[in-house]
Amino acid sequence: MTEQSAAPADEQTPTRIQVGGTAGTDPYEVLVGRSLLGELAGLIGADAKRVAVIHPEALAETGEAIRADLADQGYEAVAIQVPNAEEAKTAEVAAYCWKALGTSGFTRSDVVVGVGGGATTDLAGFVAATWLRGVRWIAVPTTVLGMVDAAVGGKTGINTAEGKNLVGAFHPPAGVLCDLGALDSLGVHDYVSGLAEVIKAGFIADPEILALIEADPEAARSPQGPHTAELLERSIRVKADVVSSDLKESGLREILNYGHTLAHAIEKNERYKWRHGAAVSVGMVFAAELGRLAGRLDDATADRHRSVLESVGLPLTYRGDQWPKLLETMKVDKKSRGDLLRFIVLNGLGRPTVLEGPDPAVLLAAYGEVSA
């Protein structure tokens, strides 16, 4: 992949990034800017009569404000409150949402709006994908993670006792509104967690992301930083470029899972109490070590993972005694094929590839480099 170019959004004019349209899918736009909720009704359209605003408990006021605004514009709008974070991504919560849609008389011309972080948009998209075999939905992500990862690409899903995102559907949104103003009130730990996905985009496709962060790591930790818009836009463009070519993860799209195989195992092991970005950070350090030990990745790029991630305050290690449990969980990862473990590693900066069936001793050695 080639290095991406991006012009940062300003206060008045949002940046519009197109996703899809090249692999037999309908294109949609990701808008990045400020004060974007005025764009929502236009994305919903005139054909919809009813709108369901799915939001987490933590964003009750925001969800109600959006519902009231849509009601003022003539829609039959209902707010559906769900639990915060990963607790929302269960079959029981999805069933609760389906019941609310049924009670509201939702038809195929109506629209679901998901407001919140990545877990909420994952759930909202899944509910939309499964109601009447698919209704339109719009993502309004409110976190860095939601903006650069979860809300783009159409991968929706819920968790089960066996693992993360094992039940889901590919169901692209009709549009995504990334209002940077939502990040201003985000806690520093949640904001920094989202940076793991930004840094991932830098390593797999756009090294300029890494250079911007390395130039001023402290500024990168804040939504008020001078490069916030550019960092998010570059990351979104990386994902948009990939998913436009491979909607259903049949090949190229797997590179977006860099660091995620171990990360998902850590999240399950911690019962989803760890932030996703923290787990991805450890997962990327592991993937870098795996690439190095497999003779794929040079020392300088492997070491750069640690320096960049540590500079913004992301973790580099996990518990050493948990390797047997993590290994068993990784065997049911979505990228696995039968009993064959598959990992995304780097052949060099911006050169992701698949490593199939690595030697168990190499896996253990790589984990030894990230175990606390």
> What is the Cα–Cα distance from 292 to 301, expressed in whole angstroms?
9
> What is the Cα–Cα distance from 241 to 194, expressed in whole angstroms?
20
pLDDT attached to residue 23: 53
Instruction: Catalytic residue, from 50, 171, 239, 305: name it.
Output: 239
Asked if residue 121 belongs to a known ligand binding site, the reply is yes
Residues 6+ apart with CB under 8 A from 189: 275
Annotation says 155 is catalytic: yes
Instruction: Catalytic residue, from 29, 234, 237, 257: name it.
Output: 257
pLDDT attached to residue 248: 57
Q: Where are the domains of the chain?
A: 15-185, 258-368
- Name the average pLDDT for the chain: 91
pLDDT attached to residue 335: 59
Give me the helices (H) in 54-206, please: 60-72, 91-104, 118-130, 144-145, 188-204
pLDDT attached to residue 247: 57
Mean pLDDT over residues 330-337, rounded? Answer: 71
Indicate if the alpha-carbon torsion angle 209, 211, 212, 214 is positive or negative: positive
Residues 6+ apart with CB under 8 A from 212: 220, 227, 230, 231
Question: Running DSSP on this structure, what letter comes out for residue 313?
Answer: T
365 within 8 A of 271, measured Cβ to Cβ: no
Annotation says 253 is catalytic: yes
Annotation says 165 is catalytic: no
Instruction: Catalytic residue, from 230, 249, 267, 289: name it.
Output: 249
Asked if residue 22 belongs to a known ligand binding site, the reply is no
Q: Does position 9 have pLDDT exceeding 50, yes or no?
A: no
Tell me: the pLDDT tens digits for 211-221? 999 999 999 99
Whose CA is closest to 190, among 119, 137, 253, 138? Answer: 119
Asked if residue 353 belongs to a known ligand binding site, the reply is no
Asked if residue 55 belongs to a known ligand binding site, the reply is no
Instruction: Catalytic residue, from 61, 133, 271, 273: name it.
Output: 133
Instruction: Catalytic residue, from 136, 200, 237, 264: name it.
Output: 264
Instruction: Catalytic residue, from 55, 67, 234, 260: name it.
Output: 260
Task: Indicate the pairing of strand 342-346 with strand 175-179.
Answer: unpaired
Whose CA is closest to 291, among 347, 331, 253? Answer: 347
Annotation says 249 is catalytic: yes
Tell me: the pLDDT tens digits for 154-208? 889 999 988 888 899 999 999 999 999 999 999 999 999 999 999 999 999 999 9
**Per CATH, which fold does 15-185 belong to?**
Rossmann fold (3.40.50)
Mean pLDDT over residues 125-139, rounded? Answer: 97
Asked if residue 155 belongs to a known ligand binding site, the reply is yes
Task: Indicate the pairing of strand 342-346 with strand 352-356.
Answer: antiparallel
77 backbone dihedrals φ, ψ, rounded to 5°: -105, 135
Mean pLDDT over residues 349-367, rounded? Answer: 95
pLDDT attached to residue 13: 86
Alpha carbon 167 to chain centroid distance? 16
Length in residues, the chain: 372
Asked if residue 248 belongs to a known ligand binding site, the reply is no
What's the half-sphere exposure (Cβ side, CA atoms, 13 Å) at 170?
12
Tell me: the pLDDT tens digits for 265-312? 999 999 989 999 999 999 999 999 999 999 999 999 999 999 999 999
Question: Running DSSP on this structure, what letter comes out for residue 34?
Answer: S
**Per CATH, which fold does 258-368 belong to?**
Dehydroquinate synthase-like, alpha domain (1.20.1090)
Annotation says 55 is catalytic: no
Annotation says 197 is catalytic: yes
Asked if residue 107 belongs to a known ligand binding site, the reply is no
167 backbone dihedrals φ, ψ, rounded to 5°: -115, 125
- 241 vs 308, residue with greater confidence: 308
Annotation says 133 is catalytic: yes
Q: Does position 8 have pLDDT exceeding 60, yes or no?
A: no
